[in-house]
Structure 1
Amino acid sequence: MKSTFLLFILLRVVSGRRTPLLMGLPNTATVEENAPAGVSIYTFNVTGSPLSSGVVAIHPTIVNSNPLTEAFALVSAGDLMYRVVTTGNPVLDYETMPKSFDLQIFVEDTAGRTDLSTLTVQLADKNERPVFWGNMAIQTVRIYVLEGTPPGLIYRVNATDPEHGQLKYSPLPESVPFWVLENGDILSKREIDYEKDPHSYFLNITVTDPEGLNSTKTVNINIINIDDESPYFTTKQRIYRIPEEQSPGTVVANITAKDPDDEDSPSRLFYSIQSSDTYFSINPSTGVLQVTGRMDRDVPPLKLHPNVSVIVRVEDSPHGGHSSEMEITVIIGDINDNPPECNPSTFRKEINENTTAGIVLLDLRNSCKDVDVDPPNNLFSFTGLSGFGSNNFALDPAESGRLVMTESIDLENPSTPGIEVYSLAVRVQDIAPPNYSNTIYIYIRIKPVNEFFPIFSSLSYEFNVSEITKVGSTIGKVTASDADWPPSVITYSIIAGGGTKDYTNAFWISPSNGDVKILARLDYETTQKHFFTVQASDQEKTATASVTVNVLEVNDEEPICSPSFYSFQIPVSLAVGTNVNGFRIQCQDRDSDPRSFRYFIKEGNMNNHFTFSPVAGSNTSRLILASPFDYESGLDTKWIYRLLVYITDDNLLSAKNKATHLVKTGTVTLSIRVIPNPTTVTTTTPSFTVVTKRENLYLDSAWYVPFVTTLGGLMLLGLLGHLGNLLARWLCAHCPPAPRADSTPLINAPEKKKPKKEVALEMIKLNTVFDGEARDPEVFLRTYVQHWKQPLDGL
């Protein structure tokens, strides 16, 4: 912004007519260094024109300085007069700043005339006063010197002359024990004694430059006292008396002392106790001796040695210096401060409820004492008997401490039922004032006597339990009570019976509450009743009761039938209503009536060909063919039936006598193979011929047996045929033809052995069926024919 304004001014000056407005410029002025702000350097006028009437549009302004500085400014002096003055920022320093400044001053009047002129300000050197360095430049320096310090250097004053002149320090007055050298060193002339010499000196140090200008600063020298004298006690008393049991902080004595080093000022002494003492302490600054620990005159060591000696030391330094010691004695006086005490202070006595009245229960005098040292402080008596049950007890004689029982106690007495503990209080009190007292507590427990037998709520118990009740279940509860007070803890146990043929202990009773549980499964079919004896005991006396457990029958046995598995064959033409293969099933059930059995076929009865007769009400039933087979129309396709038969024991006739009506199921598995008739031909696509056996049939799982047998027979026939053909050719080639009338064979065939079992074979047509083993007869025979086709062709 300033550069823009300066350019504007220059353009105005160049463009305008040059008519001087600044009178007295250009010129040269001089200013001394370090001139303060506001010092006038030069004054000039601004001339006006007729047209402007002397009005200035832009007041004279310093638009530029060379070198740049802000140490100068223009101020108006009135009537178009202006002065160049110092600003004080920065301070003009001849030694560090340029020696000359060119100030360009610009002005413009209201007529538009301008003028620009230069004022050269030269900086003049000025003789300055010497300057102190360090702390002395800003404040009075305080110096500390120890008492008795040998003569020598104690401080060095530093000062300089801005003009680098030789400085001189003025000598000190003869009255002070110091002098100043020309280089500013302050020396002590001798050792200073704190007790004889002043404790502080103020020295005015003056330094002068060659032109005679000087500066003065003050140095304060303080003498520090050293410990060279021993303190002494001013307290004369050596024996003090105080009563025992004083509270901590109680003042015993005020010990005072003085230090010759500090006769004219408050003494700075330090007090301490040198003896190993736990009763007193001393204030290290004031010397006040106070109680810090409990002082009990009635217990050792004060009981034997009531005089306490204390060694007090006073020092003039907290860490060792000159010191003095003195011994004082504190006598601890005895006071009556302890009540009578009983050990123990609580008594517990146990007596039987039938204890005879008048017996002495306790003698309290043997357990109580007073620890006070001297009579009558250690004398006491027993007063008063109070508390619950005090009517049954008394002190005999009064104040003697002998406790006796005045009335016998019966815990079962209806007037005082169940009172087992009596709580008494006896006060033991000092005879001497202030009559301290203590209370003794006596608890008398009346020990119950077991006088009564337990009694069961019933002489016999009977529980009904289902035979399927889970092991561990609670089946009943027995209870017994005891007339003793407090009621005795009764425990229960089984002392006889409760076993079975498999378990010695089939029942268990809870010892604490009498719950009866079963430990083994109950079986109605084996045992219908169980008997055992339970006992109730109060640890001393016992009682017994009998328990009967009735086992309730539950249908928990399933029917067992014979046979459970049967396999047989029937012809396809078997008549409806026929007992299939004469099969008969017989069933048994331990917990069911024979008339409760029911029979039904659960699985495998395709087209309902089979049924049982009777279907219910008997433990014996026959398998009946209910409907004929129909393979020709394709209604039937299975040749093997696997029947899963269920036999249930509904117990409908006797269910009202059962604990729980349940149904159990037995199973029988039947395998029935239907044998086609030899003349039965069924249409199959594709059709094939199969050789079937009428006898010696094998199970389906052994299907390979007929296959191997048939295959071996075919191979044997083929081999015999081939051998016969070769033999016939050989005979035709070597033998003449035989007469036609002779039909005797040339070779008699050997006689074949009779097989063990006759096997009849027949050729039948069969459709592809599923026989339960996922074998396709068509594929089987196709494979068979292809396997043996080549050997047969060779025949």
Structure 2
Amino acid sequence: YFLNITVTDPDGLNSTKTVNINIININDERPYFTIKQRIYRIPEEQSPGTIVANITAKDPDDEDSPSRLFYSIQSSDRYFSINPLTGVLQVTGRIDRDALPLQLHPNISLIVQVEDSPSGGHASEMEITIIIDDINDNPPECNPSTFRKEANENVTAGTFLLDLRNYCKDIDVDPSNNRFNFTGLSGFGSNNFALESTVPGRLVMTESIDLENPANLGVEVYSLTVRVQDIAYPNYSSKYPFYTSFDIFLCYIIYIYIRIKPVNEFFPVFSNLSYEFNVPEITKVGSSIGRVNARDKDWPPSVITYSIVAGGGTRDYTNIFWISPTKGHVKILARLDYETTQKHILTVQASDQEKTATASVTVNVLEVNDEEPVCSPNFYSFQIPVSLAVGTNINGFRIECQDRDSDPRSFRYFINEGNVNNHFTFSPRAGSNTSRLILASRFDYESGLDTNWIYRLRVYITDDNLLSARDKATHLIKTGTVTLSIRVIPNPTTVIATTPGFTVVTKRENLYSESAWYVPFVITLGSLLLLGLLGYLGFLLATWVRTRCPPAGKADGTPL
């Protein structure tokens, strides 16, 4: 300031002087903020260095000159920083709206201070609020991402299988950003499944899957994929640097494996309602006589087991048949006998462990000539006189034969052994079940033609009398046997050649040999040793008796 000061005296004289007054500015005022905005809004995931606000202030002490102010953030903050000279507020750390604490409290309050001196000056503070907006920067994710489900093959269309919404989520906090849908159901056999249109993420069957259908034969596991993606337009550039706005939405792939469980729907079915096997009665035990076979239309093929549930027994055997549990071969466990039972009826069962079916098996026992003729008596012994007339029925003897599988007219009789000079024969020789023993020729001992007085006949009875010569070569022929012992009694005038007897006399003598001198020596020595041992044992016995039984003491004769 320039002041003109005039001084006037009483006489009217004056003097004027100019006074220059310089006002020195001192730091006595607080700086103040010139911006009016207190609330700012920025999206999350801004890159470091992004400018949020330009904080400005003035110092009244520097009204006509540029202020030298210093800016700082007083509150602790990891997301922002301010340039101390320019007041530019910038992003310094990652801001994730979808993580705590911003997930629950998206507003960040900062206390910004401005000072007119680095130290000891005047300062002012201002609170600003920065609101973090959510962006669609997270694609939906599912845990687990692989599912394995099972469904029966006969389930109806519309059957619910899986709700994918229970396993997928989008962590974006804004409801408009965390919505997603399920699309792109694909994979082998995906036409059998569908995602419901009314409720996203619900996987259902569109039709029943029949494993027995040739179109599905052998397919038990269906591999499906489903895409999960955001509904809102995404902004993935902060997390996926190579993502551009021209890319399609990032999607999450879910893998679903659905196993179709076979269901036992069908009963086993035998190839025939009934079976008939013709078996000769001489078939060996353990032989296979036939096979039954059953099939099951279920897929995969069921293991069928066979068993005999009824029949197959006789009075002597509970089970004379056995069936292979896996192959169905029927075998015999005991000998078949046509003469006892001509037909066996079995009930065979086929089982797939749940369902069963039965079939009838008829075993026809074919008759075979397997029985030997049995004759009575089968052994006989008798005596005949040497003068017996030819043609005589010897002692009225006859045999009677039976054969359970042959006609009574089928027997033939012949003597196979012992019929020297053919003195004996049977009548009739064939065609009857009874026959008599006949003397066919006389005995001749005088001329020396006959020398045997005892005949042991072995008679064979066969059952082939009714067979032709050609049939005898192929048919089984059985033979019975009878043994006869015949003694021929000579007449009193008949001279019987005998062999003179002789007697063998054996003489025994007790002879002493000089070379056996040691025998009496050993006997004598042994006797002496035995006597010594007996004497020693007697001495030991006497000593033991004396120690156990001492002699009684003599009575004391001194009077009391």
RMSD: 4.0
Corresponding position: 1:456 with 2:270? yes
Q: Is the 8 A contact 2:431 2:465 kept in 1?
A: no
Structure 1 residues 670-712: Cα deviation after superposition (integer angstroms, max 9, x where no partner): 11111222223xxxxxxxxxxxxxxxxxxxxxxxxxxxxxxxx
Match of 1:476 in 2: 290
Matched to 2:220, the amino acid is E
Corresponding position: 1:766 with 2:496? yes
Give the 5 Å matches for 1:681-700. Answer: none
- Measure the CA separation in 1 of the matches of 2:468 and 2:279: 19
Give the 5 Å matches for 1:170-319. Answer: none
Corresponding position: 1:523 with 2:337? yes
Displacement of 1:543 after TM fit? 3.0
Match of 1:390 in 2: 190
Q: Is the 8 A contact 1:381 1:399 kept in 2?
A: no
Match of 1:778 in 2: 499
The 1:514–1:672 alpha-carbon spacing in structure 2 relative to 1, beyond 3 Å, is: same
Q: TM-score, normalised by structure 1?
A: 0.39
Instruction: Find 1:411's aligned residue among 199, 211, 217.
Output: 211
The 1:563–1:340 alpha-carbon spacing in structure 2 relative to 1, beyond 3 Å, is: same
SS at match of 1:471: coil
Instruction: Find 2:389's aligned residue among 560, 575, 586.
Output: 575
Count of residues in correspondence between the two structures: 346
Structure 1 residues 701-724: Cα deviation after superposition (integer angstroms, max 9, x where no partner): xxxxxxxxxxxxxxxxxxxxxxxx
- Measure the CA separation in 1 of the matches of 2:418 and 2:436: 17
Match of 2:149 in 1: 349
Matched to 2:207, the amino acid is E
The 1:628–1:411 alpha-carbon spacing in structure 2 relative to 1, beyond 3 Å, is: same
Instruction: Find 1:593's aligned residue among 407, 410, 429.
Output: 407
Q: Is the 8 A contact 1:382 1:399 kept in 2?
A: no
Instruction: Find 1:627's aligned residue among 430, 441, 452.
Output: 441
Q: Is the 8 A contact 1:454 1:541 kept in 2?
A: yes
- Measure the CA separation in 2 of the matches of 1:424 and 1:615: 93
Displacement of 1:539 after TM fit? 3.8
Match of 1:676 in 2: 490
The 1:672–1:369 alpha-carbon spacing in structure 2 relative to 1, beyond 3 Å, is: farther
Displacement of 1:650 after TM fit? 2.2
Structure 1 residues 728-753: Cα deviation after superposition (integer angstroms, max 9, x where no partner): xxxxxxxxxxxxxxxxxxxxxxxxxx
Match of 2:260 in 1: 446
The 1:364–1:582 alpha-carbon spacing in structure 2 relative to 1, beyond 3 Å, is: same
Match of 1:205 in 2: none
Structure 1 residues 414-445: Cα deviation after superposition (integer angstroms, max 9, x where no partner): 55455433232457799753799997543322
Identify which of structures 1 and 2 has the higher relative contact order when contacts are C-alpha pairs closer than 8 Å and 6+ apart.
2
Structure 1 residues 510-552: Cα deviation after superposition (integer angstroms, max 9, x where no partner): 3333322223322111111122322333444433322221111
- Measure the CA separation in 2 of the matches of 1:356 and 1:429: 30
- Measure the CA separation in 2 of the matches of 1:531 and 1:619: 35
Give the 5 Å matches for 1:605-644. Answer: 605-644=419-458
Q: Is the 8 A contact 2:391 2:438 kept in 1?
A: yes
Matched to 1:665, the amino acid is T
- Measure the CA separation in 1 of the matches of 2:503 and 2:454: 23
Gaps of 5+ in 2: 1-139, 172-177, 231-235, 244-249, 506-560
Match of 2:318 in 1: 504
Over the matched positions of the two proteins, sequence identity in percent amounts to 80
Matched to 2:401, the amino acid is C
- Measure the CA separation in 2 of the matches of 1:646 and 1:438: 99
Matched to 2:160, the amino acid is V
Corresponding position: 1:362 with 2:162? yes
- Measure the CA separation in 2 of the matches of 1:385 and 1:366: 18
- Measure the CA separation in 1 of the matches of 2:224 and 2:155: 18
Q: Is the 8 A contact 1:655 1:661 kept in 2?
A: no
Gaps of 5+ in 1: 1-338, 372-377, 681-764, 768-776, 787-795
Displacement of 1:656 after TM fit? 11
Q: TM-score, normalised by structure 2?
A: 0.53
Displacement of 1:589 after TM fit? 1.2
Matched to 1:404, the amino acid is V
Matched to 1:572, the amino acid is V
The 1:610–1:510 alpha-carbon spacing in structure 2 relative to 1, beyond 3 Å, is: same
SS at match of 2:191: helix
Matched to 2:209, the amino acid is I
Q: Is the 8 A contact 1:609 1:628 kept in 2?
A: yes
Q: Is the 8 A contact 2:412 2:465 kept in 1?
A: no
Matched to 1:603, the amino acid is E
Displacement of 1:500 after TM fit? 1.2
Displacement of 1:584 after TM fit? 1.0
Give the 5 Å matches for 1:117-156. Answer: none
- Measure the CA separation in 1 of the matches of 2:270 and 2:332: 21
Displacement of 1:587 after TM fit? 1.0
Q: Is the 8 A contact 1:592 1:651 kept in 2?
A: no
The 1:422–1:595 alpha-carbon spacing in structure 2 relative to 1, beyond 3 Å, is: same
- Measure the CA separation in 2 of the matches of 1:458 and 1:571: 72
The 1:399–1:542 alpha-carbon spacing in structure 2 relative to 1, beyond 3 Å, is: closer
The 1:350–1:586 alpha-carbon spacing in structure 2 relative to 1, beyond 3 Å, is: same
- Measure the CA separation in 1 of the matches of 2:462 and 2:169: 94
Q: Is the 8 A contact 2:430 2:465 kept in 1?
A: no
- Larger Rg: 1 or 2? 1
